[in-house]
Chains A and B, each alone.
Chain A
């Protein structure tokens, strides 16, 4: 990632969006999915991702379930019904944010 601070504020909507698309994911899978979608340009650090997941779970946006995989327990996260509403809202916010950035920097929509 060129400038990690640029992505700090949007980690939450990124995670919510990914969970909406993939139904359920575990922490490591989220980091790799972001890396893959951005061709390795964006790297979510573990120190930022897990606190965020735990925080979203405490807020009732996410719920978790465990499965035994490859000799260990794996914790999957998925959106709660409330999380799905939050997802719609955050998608709207991000779209608006992108529009503002485009206006500020005179960027042409891709």
Chain B
């Protein structure tokens, strides 16, 4: 059986070979450890480092790259499916009421009190951007504290960030000096749906990771 220090060395080895995500490292470390133990058992005096080099050679010229690539694809597909699930959930009754209410309110404001309506849109977008930035800061802190980076967290936070660009794009396309109440209120309703779905996805992902990798979040446990 490999020692704790040797296992720690295998995590470092994975990092050195461009495997930065903890989900992938965990699986590779176990595989490497099993293969090293097997090699050392069959060859009496084989040193740990020599066994590791032999085992790594079995991964072929591409090394860990295909595994990392497929993991990224898997995580992307999983995140996309989660987003769709939560977006669809927000479009169902009675959750849809929230977005409809905001859209209707905004429509009326833009018709009768244009400035207040525009300030409200700006505030909603600003809140979305700031929330995302805070999420990124918390994520960076978590990586710094635990030393572990998760692919799933990396892919589950950027959906709403690009959305404000739509407003500007539409403004440019449909003349800068006009406000379109119906279009803007529908877009803001969509933005709210997207934001709530994104929030639910990130919570869902965090809960899943804590459940699956408790040792990464609570090292003493």
Contact = CB atoms under 8 A, between A and B. Distances in A.
B7 A28 contact: no
B165 interface: no
Given A28-B34, A73-B26, A75-B30, A50 B1 contact: no
Interface in B20-47: 26-31, 33-35
Interface stretch (B64-72, B106-114, B138-146): B64-72
Interface string A35-74: 0000000000111101110110110000011101111111
Nearest to B25: A73
Contacts, number: 76
Given A55-B74, A71-B1, A71-B7, A46 B67 contact: yes
Interface string A69-90: 1111111000000000000000
B30 A54 contact: no
B66 A47 contact: yes
Contact of A74 (B30, B58, B212): B30
Interface in B44-97: 58-60, 62, 66-67, 69-71, 73-74, 77-78
B60 A47 contact: yes
The majority secondary structure among interface residues of chain B is helix
A55 B1 contact: no
A53 to B, nearest CB: 8
B26 A54 contact: no
Contact of B30 (A48, A51, A72): A72
Given A28-B34, A50-B67, 18 more contacts: A26-B30, A27-B27, A46-B58, A46-B59, A47-B62, A48-B66, A51-B67, A51-B70, A54-B73, A55-B73, A66-B26, A68-B215, A70-B1, A71-B1, A71-B3, A71-B4, A71-B7, A73-B30
Interface of A: 26-28, 45-48, 50-52, 54-55, 57-58, 64-66, 68-75
Interface of B: 1-4, 7, 26-31, 33-35, 58-60, 62, 66-67, 69-71, 73-74, 77-78, 212-213, 215
